[in-house]
Amino acid sequence: MVNMGIIRVSGKIDRAEIERLISRKSLRDEPALGIVRRIVDAVRLRGDEAVIQYTKEFDRVELSPADLEVSEDEIEVAYQGIPEEFVAALSLARDNIKSFSQGQKVVPWTASKENGASLGERVLPLSRVGVYIPGGRAAYPSSVLMNVVPAKVAGVEEIIMCVPPEEDGRVNRHTLVAAQIAEVDRIFRIGGAQAVAAMAYGTQTIPRVDKITGPGNIYVTLAKKEVYGDVGIDMLAGPSEVLILADGTADADFVVADMLAQAEHDPKALAILVTDSTELAESAEKRVKVENARIILVGNMASAIEVANIVGPEHLEIMTENPAEMVDEIMNVGAIFIGPYSPVAVGDYLAGPNHVLPTGGTARFSSPLGVYDFVKRSSLVYYTPKGLARASQAIQVLARAEGLVGHARSVGIRVKKSE
């Protein structure tokens, strides 16, 4: 897909037409799925041997089982030559993410009822979480913080991280520094579908985890889809996306800069401007010459909001005369950036809310990564003899209606013995 010019939408907004214009690609029929399944099966059956094989094949790095885990010495060496301002910026970002995450803590609760029952929920952190961080030609230290810090706040006992090695076999030093600042417990120099499979099933060297989080390419995403059920995952993230709601008061330079910034992520990254200003649309159309840009001109901002809710973007920026007034009308979105001085980059790096967000319209039913993704809840049920006696008739009526006589009997026998 390339910039289609200005798309003029007048009258009633047609959901099917907007979805066609956005043209997101589904993972369902991805040809790479066959390759991913072969890799996942091999790692599940052969462990380290398969991991090493695929690391040599795809990353062109030869490893032995002893090389898989990054040593403390390598982490110390990574700090050499790293500017102090980078470490300071990472530390500030970590603190902001931690502060925001503290507000997401899920607390246990109990309540006693007058009918002789006590009910509640127990909340426990996951025991071990695996974090996948892209590597190789690019480094994403910010993603280390976004995945690890909420898990730490949740109380996860052990966090392991997998990251592809560079051509010399080392892990990017910026990523290693971020991992130490975030307090990752163990780091392994493997990437791709083989890393996901290793964390999902465990190998002779890499421990099995309870949940896998973190972004990755199509092979990583499909691998997460393949292992889901045997292990938890955060989400199936697609290409990054931003939708900008802007009226005639918006600064065209800001709008264009944010659309171009989005295009840096990936050739498939989606940058959408929805506006009721012909002047702004024409200015952006002349200056934004990147793949997957969409400029949608609507009759009014009410229609713009309707388009935004159909798209359900990962990031949404509001650059209008009164941006805060529009927030309550946005129903489907990963993160909202309010006003001209709140670009997506602030959320990507420093603000505190997580930058791991639902993509591909999944904001209709899912949420950003957070502390709640790293805990599990168990229901608590306690009935006294009198409480069960009061409830027994209704329970037995419902059980017998479903043909589950044994269920009814399990209640009835207790009531009789307590009389």
Active site residues: 314-315
User: What is the maximum span of the chain, computed from C-alpha positions, in angstroms?
Assistant: 84
The answer to whether the Cα torsion of 359, 302, 18, 284 is positive or negative is negative
Strands 117-125 and 109-112: antiparallel
Q: How far is CA 116 from CA 388, 397, 408, 413, in A?
A: 8, 20, 19, 18
Rg over alpha carbons for the chain, rounded to the nearest Å, is 25
The answer to whether the Cα torsion of 256, 346, 262, 275 is positive or negative is negative
The full 3-state SS of the chain, as one line of letters, equals CECCCEEECCCCCCHHHHHHHHCCCCCCCCCCHHHHHHHHHHHHHHCHHHHHHHHHHHHCCCCCHHHCECCHHHHHHHCCCCCHHHHHHHHHHHHHHHHHHHCCCCCCEEEECCCCEEEEEEEEECCEEEEECCCCCCCCHHHHHHHHHHHHHHCCCEEEEECCCCCCCCCCHHHHHHHHHHCCCEEECCCHHHHHHHHHHCCCCCCCCCEEECCCCHHHHHHHHHHECCEEECCCCCCCEEEEEECCCCCHHHHHHHHHHHHCCCCCCEEEEEECCHHHHHHHHHHCCCECEEEEECCCHHHHHHHHHHHCCCEEEEECCCHHHHHHHCCCCCEEEECCCCCHHHHHHCCCCCCCCCCCCHHHCCCCCCHHHHEEEEEEEEECHHHHHHHHHHHHHHHHHCCCHHHHHHHHHHHHHHC
Name the residue among 345, 343, 347, 366 with its Cα closest to residue 355: 347
